[in-house]
Chain A
Amino acid sequence: MLQPYIPVLLLILFVAANAVMMIVVSHYAAPRRPTPLKDAPYESGMPPLGSARERFSVKFYLVAMLFIVFDIETVFLFPWGTIFFGDAGAGPGMGFLLVEMLVFMVILAVGYVYVWKRRALEWD
């Protein structure tokens, strides 16, 4: 039953080997003559200004957090979508499933409206 996973395993090994090979071969084939200027961060030819380790906007954190929440909602939609029409009659009825998911979506929609009203989706 796990037979289809054997090719995936082989493919992972094969692709990973290729990736390693590409890096290693080019590492040995290529010349390496570093100079301080060459190794400086590239900022379109200008001398680098300031540090690259700056802290960045908290909005990225907010986006990632919202992403997790809605990703989990999507994850619940996958099994629901599979049985909704796929095996009508065998499991809980279609109407029942529809109402169930509507309740779930409406509760999350409340959260979505809250996020919108708090202007957390604005990128300014």
Chain B
Amino acid sequence: MTFFLIASLIKILAVFTVIMVGVALLTLAERRICAWMQDRLGPNRVGPQGLLQPAADGLKNIFKEETYPAQADKTLFVLAPAVSFIPALLTFAVIPFAAPLPTPWGQVSMVVADLPVGFLYILAISSLGVYGIVLAGWSSNNKYALLGGLRASAQMISYEIAMGMSTVAVLLLAGNVTLSQIIARQQDSLWFVLPLGLAFFIFIVAAFAETNRLPFDLPEAEGELIAGYHTEYSAMKFSMFYIAEYSNMVTASALMVTLFFGGWDIPFTNWDTTGPAEVLKTLATLAVFGFKTICFLFLYIWVRWTLPRFRYDQLMALGWKVMLPLALVYLTILATAIWILHTRLGWAYEARFAWALAGLNAGLAVVLFWFLDRGRLVSGSVETGSA
């Protein structure tokens, strides 16, 4: 028990530190990659290659003057950044990030808390993030902040359904909500991105919307709303919203890796999953997990500096008229397919089963994109004459 407590404390400190440092580096990476895409240099003066820029920004934010807008609701105004910050940093707790580590006192699982409720914990806690945004918008006594907060919350709840339903597809194959078992299931056969391709597509779109990133960054659309719900925030409180946004991105990326890309699984080898635990295995799987997560973080940044922003009606139409029915129809087809394969043809879940589902997904994807690309949603609602 004592060992469990000490190990837990160390893991908590390590994960918290890694997320905070990761977020800091991510802000730098965002600026550098943006600069690279726009053929500029980006911040490169503080430290080698600008590596100390986040530290300088952090220090500056602590010592900056804070403004409190007149007639703002002081209590809620101070509470809002904390309400945004706390859930954002709690959600990573259930994600396994490496193979178990052997120690002289016993094996330590590389996850802060392997809860029996698994990723439902992430969905539940991240649904609390809405409060920080609504409260920030409401307490600021600024109409742009209020509009931004409202938009953000309506957007987040609209895409939360699609996100929840795409995880049901994972449940159908994994049969368990705990992330460690979902990873184990993927190690046995294929990564779920193949048999559940469309679920991954729904999930990634919902994840972009949930984290309020472009092309769904309507809450802080600077052309219309100044800076959205955090318009009136300055110094450290603004920083906390920023940290919350970026750590939500980290968790969303890690969750995509875990649900659809095998988590810490090293592809094309069974070395990492079979045999006794070794320190080397832990390190190697940790590196693989980190690499996969960084790929998704890069995707986030890449998309941000490539795609334009949706209009708000397009955003809501996409959420309610495309993602929701798509998720429901997909679940029905998937469940029927599993039933046919398992009960009618008598297949057990193995590579053959997964490949059959992958084929089904490819077919569905073709139908879906043919349906979507009729110039209605993606290219705007204005009717252009067909050439």
User: Quick check: do A and B touch in the complex, using CB within 8 A?
Assistant: yes
Given contacts A27-B66, A86-B176, A121-B321, contact A94 B342 (CB under 8 A): yes
Interface majority SS (helix, strand, loop, mixed), chain B: helix
- The CA-CA distance from A8 to B157 in the complex, in Å, is 25
Q: Does B69 contact A (CB under 8 A)?
A: yes
Residues of A within 8 A of B146 (CB): 52, 54, 56
- The CA-CA distance from A95 to B161 in the complex, in Å, is 25
Q: Does B68 contact A (CB under 8 A)?
A: yes
B68 touches A39 (CB 8 A): yes
State how many residues of chain A have any CB contact under 8 Å with chain B. 75
Task: Tell me how far the C-beta of B95 lies from the nearest C-beta in chain A, rounded to whole angstroms.
Answer: 13
Chain A 2-28 near chain B by CB (<8 Å), digits 1 or 0: 011111101110111011101101110
| Interface pick from B28-36, B163-171, B266-274, B367-375 | B163-171
- The CA-CA distance from A43 to B226 in the complex, in Å, is 7
Residues of A within 8 A of B86 (CB): 12, 15-16, 19
| Interface pick from B209-217, B234-242, B299-307 | B234-242
- The CA-CA distance from A81 to B16 in the complex, in Å, is 32
A10 touches B236 (CB 8 A): no
Given contacts A19-B86, A98-B339, 8 further A-B contacts (CB under 8 A): A7-B12, A8-B90, A11-B112, A30-B64, A42-B231, A81-B171, A105-B332, A123-B316
Residues of A within 8 A of B (CB): 3-8, 10-12, 14-16, 18-20, 22-23, 25-27, 29-34, 36, 38-44, 48, 50-54, 56, 60, 63-64, 66-67, 70-71, 74-75, 77-78, 80-88, 93-95, 98, 101-102, 105, 109, 112, 116, 121-124
Ordered by A's residue number, 25 sampled pairs between the chains whose C-beta atoms are within 8 Å are: A4-B114, A5-B113, A7-B11, A8-B93, A8-B115, A11-B12, A11-B16, A15-B85, A23-B78, A29-B63, A30-B65, A34-B68, A41-B140, A41-B141, A42-B226, A52-B145, A67-B160, A74-B164, A77-B165, A81-B168, A82-B176, A83-B175, A84-B172, A84-B335, A88-B342
